[in-house]
């Protein structure tokens, strides 16, 4: 999905709830909120998906996906369907990725979004 961003704690964390005290969890949620709002400023989106995936057998480092849903996406292509990489990969250049990254950084440093 165009604008898909990953957010992860700097320190190694494996469990979405158990490995945080409440204050640390809420601080991380505040970061997710700021990044998701910046994504919505930069990328047209009908809805924004926030989810944490992983398993103890696979990727054991906790991270969140922020995925903006393109406006006009038919209902049958939303939710999990939209997030599955086998349903399409956006071909883009390093320059396009760099440009999007610069826009997201600018939105984040511009102040509260």
Return d(Cα 16, Cα 53) in angstroms, integer: 9
End-to-end distance of the chain based on CA atoms, in angstroms?
A: 22
Q: Tokens 């505040």, residue?
A: 30
pLDDT score, position 101: 93
pLDDT score, position 90: 74
Asked if 38 and 48 count as a contact pair (C-beta separation under 8 A), the reply is no
Per-residue pLDDT of the chain (113 residues; tens, 9 = 90+): 888 899 988 888 888 888 899 999 999 999 999 999 999 999 999 999 898 876 666 677 888 999 888 888 888 877 777 777 777 767 788 999 999 999 999 999 987 66
pLDDT score, position 102: 96
pLDDT score, position 37: 95
Q: What's the pTM? A: 0.84
Closest to 107 measured CA to CA, from 53, 50, 77, 66: 66
pLDDT score, position 39: 95
Q: Tokens 């930069």, residue?
A: 42
């Amino acid at each position: 999905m165009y604008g898909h961003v990953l957010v992860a704690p700097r320190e190694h964390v494996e469990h979405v709830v158990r490995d945080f005290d409440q204050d640390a969890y809420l601080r991380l949620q505040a970061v997710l909120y700021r990044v998701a709002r910046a994504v919505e400023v930069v990328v047209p989106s009908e809805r924004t998906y926030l989810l944490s995936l992983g398993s103890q057998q696979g990727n054991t480092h906790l991270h969140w996906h922020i995925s903006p849903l393109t406006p006009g996406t038919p209902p049958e292509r939303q939710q999990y369907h939209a997030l599955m990489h086998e349903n399409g990969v956006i071909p883009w250049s390093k320059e396009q990725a760099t440009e999007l990254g610069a826009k997201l950084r600018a939105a984040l440093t511009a102040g509260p979004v």
